Amino acid sequence: MSPGIVDTDLNADWLRNNPQAHAAAAGYSVFGRVGEPQDIADVVAFAASPAGRWVTGQNLDATGGSQL
Residue 35 lies in a domain: yes
Binned at pLDDT 50, 70 and 90, residue 68 comes out as confident
Q: 27 versus 68: which is more confidently predicted?
A: 27
Domain encompassing residue 46: 2-55
Residue 13 lies in a domain: yes
Domain count, the chain: 1
Q: Give per-residue pLDDT as tens, 4-60.
A: 999 999 999 999 999 999 999 999 999 999 999 999 999 999 999 999 999 999 999
Residue 52's alpha-carbon distances to 6, 35, 64, in angstroms, are 23, 22, 19
Q: What is the pLDDT of residue 47?
A: 96
